[in-house]
Amino acid sequence: MEKVREKKTGRKGQKQRHTKRMYYLRWTRHERIQHWLLAGSFIVLVFSGFALEYPESWWAWPFITLAPAVDLRGTLHRAAATLNIALALYHLLWLIISPRGRGQFRFMILRKQDFRDMLNMLRYNLGKTTQHPRFGHFTYWEKFEYWALIWGTIIMATTGLMLWFENATLRLVPLKVIELATVIHLYEAILASLSILVWHFYFVIFSPAVYPMNFSMITGYLSREEMLEEHELELSFYENTEPIPTNEPR
């Protein structure tokens, strides 16, 4: 069961004018540290990776100006890739050994209901129905994003390690495979960067449901209003107003 806390809001000095707002634990500190380390390593990978591909671009100037003699881009890219792979392995271990990790993973499993939710959301956005779909612990887009991240990390790490250890790879596969890995690495890098910029940032920053931002990855908590907006089934489960969320396992 998630922890729920009550927080008093209201300005100091205002007599008896405090409103009590309910907050629900969304991310533990440990999960938030994992997220921000991943975000940090990803930003460095994107910046150094595209600077390797487009060294003449204006935004690649720090690499050229600050360390013209050293391969700063390649070194940074490999350092961030090491952190990124270590985080992925750590995350896998956490999913296996920790009860909280196993619980979160069960919530992440894709179910038929997620695809129904997606279609119903499309119908709602097209004005075909007035009923907004109601979501449980993870919405369908959060699940899709998570699985895209897992898939993308496997592709980037595999192709990246092939490029990193080119000589060892060449002993196992023909040169054409390395060339293919280079193309896949570049195109998946473009896809991954765009999906963070467009997809992830829409849902956590620009979506009218959360604008100006979903702060839960900083504070760890979602307010009752935010829960009502995106996790109504889970909220009703906590508040006992309904039976069990239909699209989530118990």
Q: Does 46 contact ligand HEM by CB under 6 A?
A: yes
**How is 11-77 classified by DSSP, letter by letter?**
-TT-TT-PEEEEEEE-S-HHHHHHHHHHHHHHHHHHHHHHHHH-TTSGGGHHHHHH-TTTTHHHHHH
Q: Which of 22, 44, 52, 118: binder of ligand HEM (CB under 6 A)? A: 52
Cα separation values, 166 from 161, 172, 184, 187, Å:
8, 10, 15, 19
Residue 27 or 63 having the CB closest to ligand HEM:
63
Q: Is 204 in the site for ligand HEM (CB under 6 A)?
A: no
d(CA 171, CA 248): 47
Inter-residue contact 229 to 30 (CB < 8 Å) = no
CB of 157 to ligand HEM, least distance (A): 4
Measured CA to CA, the distance from residue 97 to residue 185 in angstroms comes to 31
Among the candidate windows 30-38, 135-143, 179-187, 220-228, which touches ligand HEM by CB under 6 A? 179-187
Which residue in 228, 248, 230, 226 sits closest to 239, CA to CA? 228
Out of 24, 45, 181, 234, the residue judged to bind ligand HEM by CB under 6 A:
45
| C-beta of 34 vs 193, nearer to ligand HEM | 193
Order of strands, edge to edge, in the sheet holding 19-25? 4-9, 19-25, 221-223
Q: How far is the CB of 19 from ligand HEM (least distance, A)?
A: 43
Using CB positions, name the residue nearest to ligand HEM: 160
Residues 75-114 that bind ligand HEM (CB under 6 A): 77, 81, 84-85
156 is an interface residue for ligand HEM by CB under 6 A: yes
Total number of residues binding ligand HEM (CB under 6 A)?
Answer: 24
Return the beta strands (E) in the chain as ranges: 4-9, 19-25, 221-223
Residue closer to ligand HEM (CB basis): 119 or 194: 194
Binding site for ligand HEM (CB under 6 A): 42, 45-46, 49-50, 52-53, 74, 77, 81, 84-85, 156-157, 160-161, 163-164, 182, 185-186, 189, 192-193
